[in-house]
Amino acid sequence: MKLSRREFMTLAGGSTAGAVIFTACGVPADELLVEAPLDLPEDLVNGIDSWFATTDDSGLGVIVRVMEGRAKKIAGNPDYPINLGKQAAHTDTALQALYHPDRVEGPMLRRAKGQPLTPISWDDANGLLEQWMSDAEGNLAIVTNPVRGADAKIARDVASAYAGRLVFFDPLEQGVLHSAIKTVFDQNRVPEFDIAGAHTVLSFGADWLGTWLSPVRYGTKYGDFRGGDHRGFMMHAESRMSLTAAAADRWLTVNPGYEGDLAISIASVIVKDQLVPENNISAYTANIPEGELEKWAPESVADRVGVSAELIKEAAHKFAEDGPSIAFGGGSAGAQTNGAFNLTAIYALNILAGTIGKKGGVQFNPAGAQGLPDSATGASFETWENELSHWRAGNVKTVITRGVDLVHGLPRSVDVGGALDKVDNVVAFTGVLDESSEHANLILPENSYLEDWGLDVPEPAPGYEVVGLRQPVVNAPLDGETRARLYDSRNFLDTLLLAAGSRVSVGSVKEFVEDTVADLYAAGRGSVTAGDSRLFMNGVLQRGGWWDVGASAATGTPSSIPSPLANAAGPGMSELDDRVEGHVFTIVPFAHQSLLDGRNASTPWAQATPDPITTVAWATWAEINFDKAEEMGISEGQWIKVRTTAGEITVQAYPHPGISPNLIAIPVGQGHKEGIGGRYAEDRGENVLNILVDKKESETGALAWAATRAVVTKAGGSKELPKFEGDARAIIRPAEHGVPILIVEPGQSAHDAQEHNHELHLRFISNDE
Amino acid sequence: MVTAAERVSSHKWGMAVDVDRCTGCQACVMACQTENNIPLSTEDIYRQKRTFAWIRIERYWYGDFPNVKARFIPIMCQHCENAPCEPVCPVFATYHNTEGMNVQIYNRCVGTRYCGAGCPYNVRFFNYWEPVWPSTLRNQLNPDVTIRSRGIMEKCSFCVQRIRRGVREAAQEDRDLVDGEIQTACTDACPTNALVFGDFNDDNSRVSIMSHDDRKYTHLDSLNTEPNVVYLAQIDATGGAIGEHE
Amino acid sequence: MASGEKTLNEQPQTDNGRPAWVKVLIPVLALGGVGVTAVLGFVMVFFITAWFGNPLPVLGFDQSPVQPIAFPHTAHAGSELLFNDDGSAKMDAEGKQLTGIGLDCTFCHRTVTDTNVAGIPPVETCVTCHRVIGSTQSEPLTLLRTIGLGDDPGPIQWKRVHRLPDHVRFVHEPHIRFLTDVGNTHVIANRDEAAILAGTQSDGSVLAAVTCSTCHGDIKSQTQVAQVEPLKMGQCVDCHRKNDAPTDCTTCHF
C-alpha cells in the first residue's frame, strides 16, 4: 500500500491519540469482575486463603496456600515429622509444574512410529490402554520413579494382575546403599541418622545437605547439631566441594573410589590405639583375619586415598573420642565398581563408635504401617540391561512409563530409544514432554501431586511409623477468559485401575487411601484420635498424615558383622580410547540443587536458582580445579570438550579451588533437545548421564556412575556464564576480613575477632602504601 | 486503651542470621521468590548482572586446595536504622517506618535509582523491564503483594504482608503476638533455622536473645548503618583457615 | 490574453475581496477552535472531577455499572415501600404494596467482619430464600435460568463497583471492628441516628451493618449500586488521622 504524506500523518495522529486514550483507560475488563459461584464450599471463599496439608513427591510434608482453588505457595508442614515445617529449594517449583504453560493438555496418540502426535479423547485413550494392557498379558512392564506407599502398592497390584512387572528407575541410583545397609545392619530400610544428637559426624560421598535422600530432614538435624549446647564437629569425605563438604569442619579430599579404604584406615587407627571400648573393637574385628587391618595403616593408604596420614589419624581420634559419633555415606562413594565395599566399610564404623540404636547414632526404622511398601530404590543397571534386552527382542508388548525419562537418564550405550522403538505400545504418563515421549505411542497427561490422592511412607523415616497423606488441594487450572480446563490431566494409577477393571480389587486411589486410613483408625493408636472413622479421616487430612511415635523398631548393636574387608578392592575406572590428546579426568556427575536429577528442569524457578557453589543458573557447567585449569589454559566460561568412550559433550568451564585436580564435576538435569522439556528447558545445556560408560558395581550390578574417565580438551571460544556471582559488587575495597562473613574461633567473641581483623587490615593497608 | 496506631508501632521487627548454621541450600531464595511475586531472572538477566533476589546467598572461598572452604552467607535488605538509601530519595518512596523497617512504597517511586546507588549492601533491585509471566503461571501470583511495574525499585520488605496480617489477627482476637507467630517466607523455609525473624522490642524473643549473643555482629558495621538484621559469626573449629576471599 | 482563460493570479474573488479558500478556512478554524476548547474543557472537567471525587462516568469510569442481574438492594436491605421501574407501586399477589425485607448487610456479605473482603454470596445463598420466596424457586441453576442468564449460566460475573488500585491493600475487618466498638459511633458517616439507635447493643457497641454506610453510602436505597464516596487516599488518611489509626505507608501499600 502506498501512503501519501498527508494520509500518513492522519493515521499516525489517530493512532497516537488512540494509544493515549487506551493506555490511560486500559482497565482490563476481566479484572473488574467479581465472580459469584453457584455454590461455595466453606474453604473456597473468594479472597480468603486456606492452607491444606499434603505430601509432596520427595517425601516431605507440605502445606499449600490456596485461594479460589489456585495454589499460591507451598511451605513445609510444621506437624510432619520428616521436615518439621521446613522446605527445600525445589519445593515451590511444584507450583510452576502445576501451572506450566507447556504442560500436556490432553491425551495424544502417535499412530505409527515417527508420525506426529494427534490429540484424542480420554475415552479413546482409555480404550486403547485397556486393549494394550490385556494384549500384553504376561509381558507388560510398568516403569516409574521409585515410589512407596499407596503408589507402589497399587502399581504393583496392577502389574501383577497382568503377570507383568513394576520396575523402578532412578538415574543416580541408591541400590548400593540399600545393599550395604542390609549387609551391615540387616535392615531393609534406610535407618535414621541422629545427626542432631551426635557430637561427631563423619560422612562420605553423600551430599546429605544438598540432594542426598532427604536434605531437608538432615538440614533440620544439622541446625540442631550446630546450634545446641555443644557444637558438633563434622568431617566429610568427598572429592568435590558439595554443600555438605562446605558445611564440614574438615573436608577430606578423598580420591573417588577410595572412600572404603579411608574408612578402614580410620578404623585401623581406632583399633590399633584402642580408642574405643573393647566390645566395640571385638564386634568390628570378629571376622577380620589377624593382621589384615594393619595393611590399612594411614601411612600406607594416604597416597592412594588422597588424604594425609595426619588427617586420617585426626579423624580417627575425633570420631572415637568425641562421641556420640555417627558415620554414614552414599552417593558417589557407592557409585563405583567397588561401591558395596566402600559403603560397607563406612557403615561398619558405627560399630566401633558403639552408637547403634543410641542417641547420636544410627537408629533403625520399623516396617511401613499397614504393610504399605516402605522402601524403594531404582532397579540396578544390570536389571535394566536385562529389561531392555527383552524390549529389544520384542518380548514386551506394552511398556507404561511414568515420572521417568529413560532416554535422558541412561547411558547412551544401552540405546533406550532403540529398545523403546521395538516395543509395540509405549504409553507415557507425563506433565511436560520429555526425551522418552518421542518414542511413545500414547501420551497421557498426568496430574501434579497437588491434584492427587495418595499415601506415602517416607524414607528416610524418623525412627518410627509415619504415613503421609496426599490429597487434591487445588481446583483444575482454568483458562482466565474461557473458563475452560487448561489441562485435561488424570491420575496415573486411577487410569491404570480403570483399564484393569475387575482384575484389580482396588477401585481407585482415593478409595484405597480411605480404606487404609480406616484400618489405621481401627488400630487405635498414633497421632490422631477421633470418635469415629470419619472424624479420624478429617484429622489425618488436616495434619497431612498419621504417625505413631511409639511404634519404633528395636535396635541392637550386632555382636559381630561380616568382615568389611571381605570384598576390598580398588575402584575400576572406565577405559580411555586410544586417542588421548588432552588431560584425563574422572567425571563426577552430581544432582543439581534445584533441578535434582532433571525432574524439575521444566520449571523456570528451578532453572533460575543459582547453584550454591558456582552460582551458575540456566546452564550446564563443568567444575574443574582452579590451578589445573590455569595449567591447561582454561578460564571461566570457556567451552571444553569432555570425551569418554561413550560420547562427548561440550560444556562451559567453571574453575574453582574446591575440587581435586584430577576431577571434573558436571551437574545432571539439563541437556534437553529443541522442542523437548518445555520452553524453559529445551535446547539448554548438556546431559552428562548420556556419556557415562556402563561400568557396574561388582556386587549389586548398579551403575557405577562416578567411575567414568574422560579426556578434556579446549573446544575453542568462550561465553559469559549466566551466574549470580559478581552481581552484588562489593562497594568497599579492600574489605576487611570478616566482611561479610565473620569467623570466630570457638569461644572467641565477635567483638574480639573484629578487633583482630581490623588490626590486620590496618597493617595490610599500610603495607600497601 | 491502645490505639490502632500504637499497636502497630509497638514492634521493632528484625532478623537474626546464624551464619554458622547456613548451608547455602537456597530454600530461602526460592521461598522468597514465590511469596513476593519477584520477576523471573532469565538467562539474559543473569548475564546482565541484574538478577532479582530479595534474599541471596553469597559464597566466598577461603584458602587453596585441599585446605579450602566455601562459606555461605544469606544477605537481604538490612533494614538499617540509619539507612543510606533513605535520604537520597527525592520523593520519599523509601523511608524508615515506626516498626524498624526500611520500606519501599512502589506507588511513590519514580525510578531515580539513587537508593540503589546509595545502598552498600546491594539489596535493591530496579525493574528495567515490565515483569512478564505466561498467563498460566499468573495463577500462582500472590494477591497480597503488589506486582512492581517497569521503572520501580524493589527490595526485601520483611514480608510486610505477613506482618500486617499477623498483627491484625492478634488484634482481632484481642491478644498479644506470640514470638515466632509471624514468619517471613525465608525464615519459614530455612531447614537449619539459620534465619530467625521476630520483634526486638520483645526481650524474650529469639531475635532479641540472639542479638545479645557473643557472636553477634552486623554487616559493614563500620558504616554505622545500624541494621535491623544481625548476624552471628561462623565458628571455625579447626583453627586457622582465615585466609583471603574473593 | 483570450477571454475565458484564467491565469494563476486570477483567484476567484469574493465580495470583500478575499480568496475563496480563506472564506472556507474561517468557519473551519472557528469551529475547530470551539472543538478544541470543548475537548480541552472536557478533559479538564474530567481531571478536576477525578481529582476531587469520582471521574465523569465515561470511558469505562461508570460509578454505577449495569449488573448482569438487576439485583435490587432496596428489596433486600431496605425496609421502605417498593416501586417498579415505571414508578408504580410494587404489589404482591394480594394487592398489598411490598416493602423491603431489611436484611442485615452481613446476611449475605458474610466475611466482612472477619477478613479482607466483604464477600459476594454464592447463588446458593440466594436460593436459600428464593426456594420459597418470590417468583423463582429450587436449585441455583434454575434460578439463574429464570432470571434469564441462558441455559448454561455458570457463575455470575458481577461488575465491581467499589474498587481500589492494585497497589492498595484494604482490609474490611479492622474497620468494622473499630466502627462497631463502643464510643466510636460518631465516626460513622452519613449517619442516620435512628438506624444507629436501632443497631446499638446493650453494651454500647453497634451492629456491623450500621457502619457500612460510612464508605459505601446508603446502599439500601439503591436499586443499582453506585459508588458515592470517592474513596481516594486523602479520604482514608483523613479518617486514619482523626481516629489514631496507623498512617504509615505500609499500612496499605506493599
Domains of chain B by range and CATH? 4-242 (3.30.70.20)
Q: Are A696 and A703 in contact (CB under 8 A)?
A: yes
Report, as an integer, the average pLDDT of A38-64.
86
The answer to the question of residue C205 being in a domain is: yes
Whole-number pLDDT of residue A2: 46
**One domain for residues C18 and C45:** yes
Give the bridge partners for A329, in sequence order: A204
**One domain for residues C34 and C75:** no
Size of interface A-C (CB pairs under 8 A): 65
Lowest average pLDDT, out of A119-133, A179-193, A555-569, goes to: A555-569
**One domain for residues C209 and C113:** yes
Whole-number pLDDT of residue A731: 45
Q: Are A271 and A285 in contact (CB under 8 A)?
A: yes
Lowest average pLDDT, out of A34-48, A199-213, A443-457, A677-691, goes to: A34-48
Instruction: Give the DSSP per-residue string, A105-147.
Output: -S-EEESSTTSPEEE--HHHHHHHHHHHHHHTTT-EEEEES--
Among the candidates A358, A386, A415, a domain finishes at A358
| A33 has a pLDDT exceeding 90 | no
Chain B residues within an 8 Å CB radius of A741: 19, 60, 71, 73, 233-234, 245
Instruction: Give the DSSP per-residue string, C108-135.
Output: HSGGGGTSS---PPPHHHHHHHHTTSSS
Q: Which residue of B has its CA nearest to C249?
A: B105
Question: Which residue of A95, A223, A750 is in closest CB contact with B140?
Answer: A95
Whole-number pLDDT of residue A256: 93
Whole-number pLDDT of residue A465: 94
The pLDDT tens digits of the residues spanning A698-709 come to 999 999 999 999
Distance CA B200, CA B2 (A): 20
Q: Hey, are the CB atoms on A33 and C159 less than 8 Å from each other?
A: yes
CA distance A50 to chain C (A): 12
| A11 has a pLDDT exceeding 50 | no
The answer to the question of residue A437 being in a domain is: no
CA distance A401 to chain B (A): 26
Q: Specify burial of residue C64 (Cβ count, 10 A radius: 0-12, 13-18, 19+).
A: middle
| A13 has a pLDDT exceeding 60 | no
Percentage of residues of chain C with pLDDT beyond 90: 15
The answer to the question of residue A127 being in a domain is: no
For residue C241, what are the domain limits?
Answer: 70-120+160-254
Substitution target from C117, C249, C252 for chain B, most B beta carbons within 10 A? C249
Distance CA B153, CA B128 (A): 9
Report, as an integer, the average pLDDT of A600-618.
95
Chain B residues within an 8 Å CB radius of C175: none
Distance CA A655, CA A638 (A): 10
Report, as an integer, the average pLDDT of A79-103.
95
Q: Hey, are the CB atoms on A220 and B192 less than 8 Å from each other?
A: yes
Q: Hey, are the CB atoms on C174 and B171 less than 8 Å from each other?
A: yes
Whole-number pLDDT of residue C11: 54
**Which amino acid, one-letter code, is at A90?**
H
Question: Which residue of B47, B61, B122 is in closest CB contact with A722?
Answer: B47
**One domain for residues A666 and A741:** no
| C53 has a pLDDT exceeding 90 | no
Chain C residues within an 8 Å CB radius of B144: 169
Report, as an integer, the average pLDDT of A671-693.
92
Whole-number pLDDT of residue B5: 85
The answer to the question of residue A254 being in a domain is: yes
Percentage of residues of chain A with pLDDT beyond 70: 94
Q: Hey, are the CB atoms on C121 and A48 less than 8 Å from each other?
A: no
The answer to the question of residue C152 being in a domain is: yes
Report, as an integer, the average pLDDT of A3-23.
42
Q: Domain with A286 in it: what CATH number?
A: 3.40.228.10
| A44 has a pLDDT exceeding 80 | no
Substitution target from C40, C42, C56, C59 for chain A, most A beta carbons within 10 A? C59
**One domain for residues A741 and A645:** no
| A593 has a pLDDT exceeding 70 | yes
The pLDDT tens digits of the residues spanning A724-742 come to 987 766 544 556 788 889 9
The answer to the question of residue C58 being in a domain is: no
The pLDDT tens digits of the residues spanning B73-129 come to 999 999 999 999 999 999 999 999 999 999 999 999 999 999 999 999 999 999 999
CA distance A107 to chain C (A): 26
Residue A650 backbone dihedrals phi, psi, to 5 degrees: -115, 120
The pLDDT tens digits of the residues spanning A458-498 come to 988 999 999 999 999 998 888 766 778 899 999 999 999 99
Q: Domain with A711 in it: what CATH number?
A: 2.40.40.20
**One domain for residues C93 and C206:** yes
**One domain for residues A629 and A747:** no
Q: Hey, are the CB atoms on C250 and B157 less than 8 Å from each other?
A: yes
Whole-number pLDDT of residue B12: 95
What is chain A's Cα-based Rg? 28
Q: Hey, are the CB atoms on C155 and A38 less than 8 Å from each other?
A: yes
**One domain for residues C97 and C175:** yes
Among the candidates A358, A389, A416, a domain finishes at A358
CA distance C244 to chain B (A): 6
The answer to the question of residue A266 being in a domain is: yes
Partner chains of C (3+ C-beta pairs under 8 Å)? A, B
Lowest average pLDDT, out of A595-599, A680-684, B216-220, C184-188, goes to: C184-188
Q: How many CA atoms lie within 13 A of C49 on its CB side?
A: 13
**One domain for residues A203 and A308:** yes
Whole-number pLDDT of residue C24: 86
Question: Is the CB of residue B4 less than 8 Å away from at least one CB of chain C?
Answer: yes
Nearest alpha-carbon partner for A307 in C107, A299, A764: A299
pLDDT band at B244 (very low <50, low <70, confident <90, very high): very low
Q: Are A199 and A232 in contact (CB under 8 A)?
A: yes
**One domain for residues A714 and A739:** no
**One domain for residues A686 and A750:** no
| A720 has a pLDDT exceeding 50 | yes
Whole-number pLDDT of residue A15: 40
Q: Hey, are the CB atoms on B105 and C247 less than 8 Å from each other?
A: no
- CA B165 → CA A572, B181, C251, distances in Å? 60, 11, 10
CA distance C206 to chain A (A): 25
Lowest average pLDDT, out of A279-283, A568-572, B153-157, goes to: A568-572
Residue C158 backbone dihedrals phi, psi, to 5 degrees: -70, 150
Q: Are B40 and A608 in contact (CB under 8 A)?
A: yes
Question: Is the CB of residue B109 less than 8 Å away from at least one CB of chain C?
Answer: no
The answer to the question of residue A329 being in a domain is: yes
**One domain for residues A630 and A740:** no
Whole-number pLDDT of residue A9: 43
**One domain for residues C38 and C131:** no
**One domain for residues A744 and A603:** no
Question: Which residue of B31, B141, B215 is in closest CB contact with A92?
Answer: B31
CA distance C87 to chain B (A): 44
The answer to the question of residue A177 being in a domain is: no
| B31 has a pLDDT exceeding 90 | yes
State ipTM.
0.94
For residue A750, what are the domain limits?
Answer: 735-768
Report, as an integer, the average pLDDT of B189-195.
96
Report, as an integer, the average pLDDT of C28-48.
89
The answer to the question of residue A513 being in a domain is: no
**One domain for residues C29 and C144:** no
pLDDT band at A36 (very low <50, low <70, confident <90, very high): confident
C-alpha torsion angle, residues C125, C127, C128, C132 (rounded to 10): 160
**One domain for residues C110 and C134:** no
> Would the pTM count as exceeding 0.95?
no
Question: Is the CB of residue A484 less than 8 Å away from at least one CB of chain C?
Answer: no
Whole-number pLDDT of residue A141: 95
pLDDT band at C15 (very low <50, low <70, confident <90, very high): low
Average pLDDT of chain A, as a whole number: 90
Question: Is the CB of residue C232 less than 8 Å away from at least one CB of chain B?
Answer: no
Instruction: Please give the residue that has the higher pLDDT: either C179 or A41.
Output: C179
Q: Hey, are the CB atoms on C123 and A34 less than 8 Å from each other?
A: no
Lowest average pLDDT, out of A285-294, A603-612, B189-198, goes to: A285-294
The pLDDT tens digits of the residues spanning A306-365 come to 999 999 999 999 999 998 999 999 999 999 999 999 999 999 999 999 999 999 999 999
Nearest alpha-carbon partner for A329 in A409, A245, A225: A245
Whole-number pLDDT of residue A17: 40
Distance CA A368, CA A551 (A): 10
CA distance A738 to chain B (A): 9
Q: Hey, are the CB atoms on C167 and B144 less than 8 Å from each other?
A: no
| C127 has a pLDDT exceeding 70 | yes
Longest Cα–Cα distance of chain B, Å, equals 64
pLDDT band at A1 (very low <50, low <70, confident <90, very high): very low
The answer to the question of residue C57 being in a domain is: no
Q: Are B85 and B118 in contact (CB under 8 A)?
A: yes
Whole-number pLDDT of residue C29: 87
Chain B (173-202) residues lying within 8 Å, Cβ to Cβ, of chain C:
none
Average pLDDT of chain C, as a whole number: 82
Q: Specify burial of residue B186 (Cβ count, 10 A radius: 0-12, 13-18, 19+).
A: buried
| B242 has a pLDDT exceeding 60 | no
The answer to the question of residue C65 being in a domain is: no
Substitution target from A92, A593, A616 for chain B, most B beta carbons within 10 A? A92
**One domain for residues C170 and C46:** no
The answer to the question of residue C1 being in a domain is: no
Q: Which residue of B has its CA nearest to A720?
A: B47
| B190 has a pLDDT exceeding 60 | yes
Q: Hey, are the CB atoms on C254 and B160 less than 8 Å from each other?
A: yes
| A8 has a pLDDT exceeding 70 | no
Q: Are A672 and A680 in contact (CB under 8 A)?
A: no
Among the candidates A358, A393, A418, a domain finishes at A358
Q: Which set of grid coordinates corresponds to residue A149?
A: 506407599
**One domain for residues C246 and C131:** no
Whole-number pLDDT of residue A404: 94
Question: Is the CB of residue C122 less than 8 Å away from at least one CB of chain A?
Answer: yes
**One domain for residues A634 and A758:** no
The answer to the question of residue C246 being in a domain is: yes
Q: Hey, are the CB atoms on A39 and C123 less than 8 Å from each other?
A: yes
**One domain for residues A747 and A639:** no
Strands (E), chain C: 156-159
Q: Hey, are the CB atoms on B4 and C246 less than 8 Å from each other?
A: yes
Q: Which residue of B has its CA nearest to C177?
A: B172
CA distance B154 to chain A (A): 15
Whole-number pLDDT of residue C204: 81
Q: Hey, are the CB atoms on B18 and A227 less than 8 Å from each other?
A: yes
Instruction: Please give the residue that has the higher pLDDT: either A372 or C49.
Output: A372
The answer to the question of residue A68 being in a domain is: no
**One domain for residues A659 and A699:** yes
Give the bridge partners for A200, in sequence order: A233, A325
Q: Which set of grid coordinates corresponds to residue A427?
A: 504409553
**One domain for residues C144 and C242:** no
Write the CB contacts of B130 (distance below 8 Å, at least 6 apart in sequence): B149, B150
Whole-number pLDDT of residue A182: 92
**One domain for residues C105 and C206:** yes
Q: Hey, are the CB atoms on C167 and B161 less than 8 Å from each other?
A: no
Question: Which contiguous run of DSSP H or E holds residue A442?
Answer: strand A442-445
How many domains is chain A built from?
3
How many domains is chain C built from?
3
Whole-number pLDDT of residue C222: 87
Question: Which residue of C119, C140, C158 is in closest CB contact with A33?
Answer: C158
The pLDDT tens digits of the residues spanning A561-582 come to 888 888 888 888 888 876 667 8
Helix extents (H) in A249-338: 259-272, 278-285, 298-305, 309-321
Query: With the C-alpha atoms ordered A164, A168, A169, A175, is the resulting torsion angle positive or negative?
Result: negative
Q: Which residue of A has its CA nearest to B142?
A: A72
| B65 has a pLDDT exceeding 90 | no
**One domain for residues A251 and A334:** yes
The answer to the question of residue C115 being in a domain is: yes
